Amino acid sequence: MSALEKLRDRMAELSDLSATQMLAAWDQLVMMPAEGAPARAEQLGTLARLTHERSTGEEVGEWLTELDEAPLDGLDADVVRLARRDWERARRVPIELAAELAQASAQGQESWREAREADDFAAFAPALQRNVELARAYGECVAEAGESAYDGLLGDYDFGLSTEDLRRVFSALAQGLTPLVAEASAHTPHRTLAVPVTAQEAAVAGVLRRVGVEQESWRVDVSAHPFTAWIGPRDSRVTTRYGDGEVESLLSSLHEFGHALYERQVDPALDRTNLGSGTSMSMHESQSKLWENHVARSRSFAEVLASELGDGGFTVGAEELHATLVGVQPSLIRVSADPLTYPLHIILRFELELAMIEGTLAVADLPEAWREGMDGLLCVEVPSDALGCLQDVHWGGGSFGYFPSYALGCLIAAQLWEALERDLGPREQDLSRGETGAIQAWLAERVHRHGRRLDTLPLLAQATGEEGLAVEPFLRFVAPLAGC
């Protein structure tokens, strides 16, 4: 076998291992009996170790060296380019550091869980301190030449984005959003709608059927937190949850559908290569946010949602439903934030985690900085750390550089949506009839099919015809929600 064949065989193997890990994780959250947890942790640990060993082995480096001068066509050239990048990044991490990161992540999550329960930040501070130091060390290891530690961390989630890019775009975003928050608080009272679970279930099933979710190649299940698993190109699994008297399930099921659709529409030629999945965290989040914000929260699609709820036995007008889905209300908790204030929660986390990694914010000062930030960005007073800086698992698990993708997803979704409407014309009419075929085809062509062949920024430029991240499309999307 040639070096290229060996490399492609290995990439196929790693792709299968990744699918297997996703299956084991899906099963753990959806099907596994509770007492299966310890054995599952061992199984997932073994799959992760094998994946690490098979992706960082010396032999991969030898194949890559052999391929240094080889004339390769487009697809093979990209396979080799990404394989080299991934291999080099992984090889920069000493084994001892990788082991310590894994251990600190498990212990930090446990410490975080207890501290949040007890509303006791001091109990979590040592674990957080350790996670910050390890993340800084890790970021320095993987950083490309000339990059900072935080740049290095970002690269794992969004290769090619710099801390400077984020500073610039988040500063503009905060500037644009802060006045809207004040407007919104004055104009659009938050509403609730007491939708029974049975009506939600009927509506979720009906809406997902309309966008193409069929049992031959999808599963829809319930889990504690909604998520998506892609086990194969024709084996997509989304989950949702149903809170009594809530409407979150309508939004979250289309949000998860967006993630799944991205993976399903990657070019089949990339299947079982290292290019055959979504290119980055922010681009993935843009796909879920596009369906959540620009489809599910549109006035037109509210007609469809109201009709499906009606079929489920709950009568509501499209106008009232829409108002509920887009109501703005500054609040304490990120995961239940409205579409306008959501990115401000992320900007706060970005600023704080960046300062911790750069060493300009001491871990002990985090709670106070959090309070100040919430006050400054959202005019919200934080009554406790449990409802403040202890609300998310990410830092307890050692994830730094991950939060930004949530806000970038909102921005990119809005940029893509404007480009899509420029190309296809306004979508109101189609959406009011529940027709999304043209949207799905546009996304397949402009975004999905490329897989990992293009990184976030080149992919965005190619899809929209414009360079770089921009905040204006998102601000144009949220302005009406603030009553402006």
Residues annotated catalytic, as ranges: 256
**Cβ-based nearer residue to a second copy, 39 or 379:** 39
- Binding flag, residue 48, a second copy (CB under 8 A): no
- Binding flag, residue 17, a second copy (CB under 8 A): yes
Q: Which residues fall within 8 angstroms of residue 392, CB to CB, at 6 or more apart?
A: 334, 349, 403
User: What span, in angstroms and rounded, lies between the C-alpha atoms of 124 and 281?
Assistant: 27
**N-terminal to C-terminal alpha carbon distance within the chain:** 64
Most distant pair of Cα atoms in the chain: their distance: 69
**Cβ-based nearer residue to a second copy, 27 or 66:** 27
Q: From the list 6, 25, 43, 52, which residue makes contact with a second copy (rule: CB under 8 A)?
A: 43
**Cβ-based nearer residue to a second copy, 216 or 244:** 216
- Binding flag, residue 428, a second copy (CB under 8 A): no
CB of 143 to a second copy, least distance (A): 32
CB of 269 to a second copy, least distance (A): 15
Q: Is 243 left (phi over 0), alpha (psi -120 to 50) or beta?
A: beta
The dihedral built from the CA positions of residue 430, 432, 437 and 441, taken in this order, carries a sign that is positive
Annotate each residue in 325-344 with x if it binds a second copy (CB under 8 A) or - if it does not, as one string.
Answer: --------------------
Q: 64 near 87, Cβ under 8 Å?
A: yes
* Tokens linked to 143: 């950083």
- Binding flag, residue 39, a second copy (CB under 8 A): yes
Q: Which stretch binds a second copy (CB under 8 A): 97-105, 215-223, 293-301, 352-360?
A: 215-223
Q: Which stretch binds a second copy (CB under 8 A): 171-179, 229-237, 373-381, 447-455?
A: 229-237
Q: From the list 16, 164, 320, 445, which residue makes contact with a second copy (rule: CB under 8 A)?
A: 16
**Cβ-based nearer residue to a second copy, 15 or 298:** 15
Q: Which stretch binds a second copy (CB under 8 A): 15-23, 61-69, 198-206, 431-439?
A: 15-23
CB of 20 to a second copy, least distance (A): 5
- Binding flag, residue 32, a second copy (CB under 8 A): yes
Q: 29 near 223, Cβ under 8 Å?
A: yes
Among 289, 229, 232, smallest CA distance to 255 is for 289
Q: From the list 1, 34, 95, 145, which residue makes contact with a second copy (rule: CB under 8 A)?
A: 34
Residue given tokens 């709670």 in the structure block: 367
Q: 320 near 193, Cβ under 8 Å?
A: yes
User: What span, in angstroms and rounded, lies between the C-alpha atoms of 219 and 236?
Assistant: 6
- Binding flag, residue 100, a second copy (CB under 8 A): no
- Binding flag, residue 167, a second copy (CB under 8 A): no
Q: How big, in percent rounded to 5, are the helix, strand and coil portions of the chain?
A: 65, 5, 30
**Cβ-based nearer residue to a second copy, 233 or 310:** 233
User: What span, in angstroms and rounded, lies between the C-alpha atoms of 394 and 382?
Assistant: 19
Three-state secondary structure call for residue 240: strand
User: What span, in angstroms and rounded, lies between the C-alpha atoms of 18 and 39?
Assistant: 19
- Binding flag, residue 224, a second copy (CB under 8 A): no
Q: From the list 25, 29, 47, 438, which residue makes contact with a second copy (rule: CB under 8 A)?
A: 47
Please state, as a whole number, how many other Cβ atoms lie within 10 Å of the Cβ of residue 168: 14
Q: 405 near 282, Cβ under 8 Å?
A: yes
- Binding flag, residue 218, a second copy (CB under 8 A): yes
**Cβ-based nearer residue to a second copy, 236 or 298:** 236
User: What span, in angstroms and rounded, lies between the C-alpha atoms of 344 and 483?
Assistant: 18
**Cβ-based nearer residue to a second copy, 7 or 19:** 19
CB of 212 to a second copy, least distance (A): 13
Q: Which stretch binds a second copy (CB under 8 A): 33-41, 78-86, 312-320, 356-364?
A: 33-41
- Binding flag, residue 40, a second copy (CB under 8 A): yes
Q: 122 near 245, Cβ under 8 Å?
A: no
* Tokens linked to 213: 């979710």
Q: 332 near 389, Cβ under 8 Å?
A: no
Interaction residues for a second copy, span 272-291 (CB under 8 A): 272
Q: 387 near 333, Cβ under 8 Å?
A: yes
Size of residue set near a second copy by CB under 8 A: 36
CB of 11 to a second copy, least distance (A): 11
Annotate each residue in 246-275 with x if it binds a second copy (CB under 8 A) or - if it does not, as one string.
Answer: --------------------------x---
Q: 280 near 159, Cβ under 8 Å?
A: yes
* Tokens linked to 73: 């066509």
Binding site for a second copy (CB under 8 A): 12-13, 16-17, 19-20, 23-24, 27, 31-36, 38-40, 42-43, 45-47, 49-50, 215-219, 231-235, 272
